[in-house]
Amino acid sequence: MCGFVGYINEQNEIGNIEKNQINNMLKLIHHRGPDDTGFFNDDHIVFGFKRLSIIDVENGKQPISFENERYWMVFNGEIYNYQELRKTLKNIGYTFQTSSDSETILALFSHKKEEAFSDLRGMFAILIWDKQEQTMYGARDPFGIKPLYYTNGESEHELYFASEKKSLVALENKRSLNKEALHHYLTFQYVPEPLTMTTDTFKIEPGHYFIKRKGENLIQTKYWEPTFKPSQGDLDASSKQIARTLEESVNCHMISDVPLGAFLSGGIDSTCIVTLAKKINPDIKTFTVGFEQEGYHELNPVKQTVEALEVENSYYQVSVTEFIEELPKIIWHLDDPVADPAAIPLYFLAREATKHVKVVLSGEGADELFGGYRIYKEPLSLRPLSSLPDSGKKMMNFILNRVPQKVKGRNYIERGLTPIEKRYIGNAKMFSEADKFKLLSQYQSEYNYEKITTPFYEQIQHLDDITKMQYIDLQTWLRGDILVKADRMTMAHSLELRVPFLDKEVFKVAANLHPTLKVDKSQTKIALRSAMKHIVPEHIVNRAKLGFPVPIRHWLQNELYDWAKNLIMDSQTDYIFKKEEILQLLEQHRKINLHESSMFKSKGDYSRPLWTVLTFMLWHQVFIEKVYEFDTTMEHSKQF
């Protein structure tokens, strides 16, 4: 696990000014690779690299070259099938100087060029320079586990790449706000890819590679697409296949030359990973986080799991004081605003884990692949209405238009008559278009959320509604929220996170599951739970999903109320927001009666929309207003 920056100047040769700039960009991501620093420059390109040593600690340094230095590469991630690939390459005559997965990638690229990326099983962001052809190649893993950003320089002949956007924002001309990204952020609570919150700075999309030839534009090509093919399957047979494939994936993900542990919550996803990992490493350490607020920790089920599995566990409880103290730095690490409160406990969880291990396993991706979100049950409950013939729907709409808004059951009828394409935009929806019109000083209707979701829906018209929801979440929520916070919060503490559910082989099994093997009216992840029922502790098998709950809704009424009000007033975002609307939301939220132990939204609970705005305002202070400074020293690191 590492971080890198790259630079191409097709017109001018690389000089000291460019090298100093690369040094400064690399300092900002020291946390991604504190173990070693490496550089390579040709006449027209520079690579800078920060290494977190995991595999072949002694020899796996980067940038790395191959074929008499024709190819040079920087690579962030892990390839879990590199040993099999290496054996195949040896059989056809390739020789190796190291035991690293990075050298295997470069040998495979030498053999197959851009077709090599399809053969890689793992998580990765890659840059490869072909000195002979004067061409840059790059790729990002199928699910988008590892990030890869790019932007143009001051001239059309320059192009920059980086593992984190903050390295690109360091360029003086890369600080302007992307208004389209802002509109979408207020809907989704994150910035949908390939956009970022900064104008002219973008992400290479998951499952894509690119080619940048001299004098030509950067061209992206999709090499992998998450394709669902639900079939009429048998639960018992599917369960056995899931168990076998997942066990094999966990085994692959445990390849490491440094200490490895796992995150553990009270749900089936992480418990499944820990249970399978313990079979391979009986001494595996586990890590759990929570809050002192009643109902916002999973300590009791975790204790039961730890006792049942006989694993070591470290539990950390986050206080509201350190929560708010660390928040600006958390926002800085995220690069773009992500208003998912779960990012914060993940930050503290990673901080604790890195005291003991250098790699952790985690359960991200299980919900999207196996149907784990409660919202996936909705098509079943709405079926009496959604399955009506057109004439029936027309009659119901006629009646609906005459029913007052506050009448009980009206919302159910309205949702049942609304096509999935208009009803579901992903796992989070903060502000409607009407809300944004009231909230923003300059609302722009052309940035409607459907600009993001419609292209995805057009590709999956043949699928059932439950599978459509999974696909939308894979293409938006997973890569825009879940994996962003997972990568940034762990790498903030130089900790490598691995996600065995997000494996191409696991996806092949999940993609064939019939909807009835995913959810019914009472349960989620049916096939996964069935696969794990004789593996994980009994108290976990049917336990409902909780995730990383954060008491934001309570704190905004009490401990964080003054902080929130001051942030709204102090933030230099008057040119963006009508602040009186936000202050009104804060006051309305403060007045509602929240049951202390309730985890579910009450009428008048505006905590999540408020948190979306507050997160953006803090991001604006960090990256636009430059209110905060963070230590980015490169102790014990070499420079050009």
How far, in Å, CA of 498 to CA of 491, rounded? 12
Residue with tokens 């079979």: 279
Coil/strand/helix, residue 525: coil
Token pair belonging to 25: 């960009």
> Active site residue: 1, 2, 73, 168, which one?
2
CB 602 within 8 A of CB 594: yes
CA distance readout (Å), 389 to 30, 182, 380: 60, 39, 17
Closest CA to 312 of 355, 347, 345, 253: 355
Angle at 380 between CA 378 and CA 383, to 5 degrees: 105
The dihedral of CA 558, 563, 569, 573: what is its sign?
A: negative
Q: Residue positions in the annotated binding site for ATP?
A: 289, 362-363
Q: Which helix (H) or strand (E) holds 51?
A: strand 45-51
How far, in Å, CA of 81 to CA of 17, rounded? 40
Coil/strand/helix, residue 98: coil
The answer, yes or no, to whether the previous bond of 515 is cis (omega within 30 of 0) is no
How far, in Å, CA of 102 to CA of 93, rounded? 18
Token pair belonging to 285: 């350490």
The residue length of the chain stands at: 640
The answer, yes or no, to whether the previous bond of 63 is cis (omega within 30 of 0) is yes
CA distance readout (Å), 19 to 13, 24, 31: 11, 9, 20
- 19: burial class by Cβ within 10 Å (0-12, 13-18, 19+)? middle
Q: Residue positions in the annotated binding site for L-glutamine?
A: 101
Residue with tokens 């894509």: 208
How far, in Å, CA of 436 to CA of 434, rounded? 5
How far, in Å, CA of 314 to CA of 285, rounded? 8
Coil/strand/helix, residue 471: helix
In DSSP terms, which residues pair with 496 in a beta bridge?
359
Q: Is 252 a catalytic residue?
A: no
Which residues are tagged catalytic? Answer: 2
